[in-house]
Amino acid sequence: MFNKRIKIKKLLGGQPSGQQVTVMGWVKSFRNNQFIALNDGSTNSNIQVVTELGKFDEALLRRITISAALKVSGQLVPSLGKGQQMEIKAGEIIILGDSDAEKYPLQPKKHSLEFLREIAHLRFRTNTFGAVFRVRHSLAFAIHQFFNEKGFVYLHTPIITASDAEGAGEMFKVTTLPFDNTPRTADGEVNYKEDFFGRATNLTVSGQLEGELGATGLGEIYTFGPTFRAENSNTPRHLAEFWMIEPEMAFCDLEDNMNLAEEFIKYIIRYAMEHNREDLDFLQQRLMEEEKQLPQDKRSEMNLLSKLEFVLNNAFERITYTEAVDILLLSPPYKKKKFQYEVKWGMDLQSEHERYLVEKHFKKPVIVTDYPAAIKAFYMRQNDDGKTVAAMDILAPGIGEIVGGSQREERLEKLEARMKAMNVPQEELSWYLDTRRFGTVPHAGFGLGFERMVQFVTGMSNIRDVIPFPRTPKNAAF
């Protein structure tokens, strides 16, 4: 019975000529016991189903309530009503699933995003989240298409790992050891030799190190998978579980890396704009209504689509970290003491600094390069000045850092010295050092946080609203 179904999006893209069609979806509204607004999730637009008065049993009509699931067969005809070009003159209505309208949490009114997070299992049925997750899908598809066209190999790096690529230590432990009777060594330490893997393991914070192994044999690879940070950050910008895209390229330096990242970002934004215009129009209108509640100085200078077009049509500004600090030191917010965090060479740029550079000073995406070695990871290539490394961050309007990457240190002796200085155990990463011992090459890569990219394209202000089931401190529902 289901293979005759036509999706509402496809239906609305055609012409009504009295043809017989079958649609299935959920009831959005039922007016005057005659007009059903039906939606199947393929688009935010509903198809109107007209039930001829007296044709259907009253008991059946009483079951047509908000969110009831229907199968409707009938004739597709031009609509005489306002707001739609076509409608279905119902010949048969089958109720696939009843819905108690009084208990259904999503009433036909505007709900806050905070409330919808509490019923995340149902928020897919709203227009906002329908649009967000269709855009998310398009961006994910475009990512694979971009790298496939470039000849990259899609590499699945491990989710359970014994290495800490970032050196941050904020990782989720993976263990089968009993908590109530944990085996201990003679000196009282946890005896991981008794654990499932025979050693301490964690959920991955990055697939980069393993990605480098692939790149130094396959040439160019990319990963696209879940990563985990046990950082106790309860903010609109952080998740404990999120998705990362991490390409690694052999025979590639920092400039090549920046060029690829800029091309990549523009490609996937362009794809979404070409394939999800209806959703983006809706999200733009939603954002404009949301910003009406804000003071004038807090509102965006450009609407959502203008911002995306601006990114596509302008080369990203490229500056060094040192130049960025100099700009901040001369900025009005610094002089008026409006920055919460101090500005000086050697500090890590904070979100307020990044957003000033992007939104106020350059008014376009910015790539900052050559950060102080002291605030960056051990694997980044050391510059000749002895103080900085060949790192790059891409900063985007509204959210700050969206990409972080670097040229990797390919010189064995320099990498070993850096690891020693940062107390990174070389024996545990001997497999990583082998790529420098046997045919080392200049290589580079970057990581893009997928949810931040989805945030940027959809205009959603909270990262919890661009992932289906957010994992945050004290929250692991579903």
Residue 282 pLDDT exceeds 90 = yes
Q: What is the pLDDT of residues 400-416, one digit of tens each?
A: 899 999 999 999 999 99
The CATH number of the domain covering residues in 2-104:
2.40.50.140
Contacts of 245 (CB under 8 A, 6+ apart): 143, 222, 223, 224, 447, 448, 450
Q: What is the pLDDT of residue 165?
A: 63
DSSP for 107-159, written as a single string: -SS---HHHHHHTTTTGGGSHHHHHHHHHHHHHHHHHHHHHHHHT-EE----S
Q: What is the pLDDT of residues 353-383, one digit of tens each?
A: 999 999 899 988 999 999 999 999 999 999 9
Same fold? 2-104, 125-170+205-465: no
Higher model confidence: residue 164 or residue 194? 194
Q: What is the pLDDT of residues 108-134, one digit of tens each?
A: 888 999 999 999 999 999 999 999 999
What class has domain 125-170+205-465? alpha beta
- Within a 10 A sphere around the Cβ of 161, how many other Cβ atoms? 19
pTM here? Answer: 0.94
pLDDT classification of 297: cutoffs 50, 70, 90 = confident
Question: For a pLDDT cut of 90, what percent of the chain falls above it?
Answer: 86
Q: Would you kindly state where each structural domain of the chain is located, as residue ranges?
A: 2-104, 125-170+205-465
Residue 167 pLDDT exceeds 60 = no
Residue 169 pLDDT exceeds 70 = no
pLDDT classification of 82: cutoffs 50, 70, 90 = confident
Higher model confidence: residue 90 or residue 396? 90
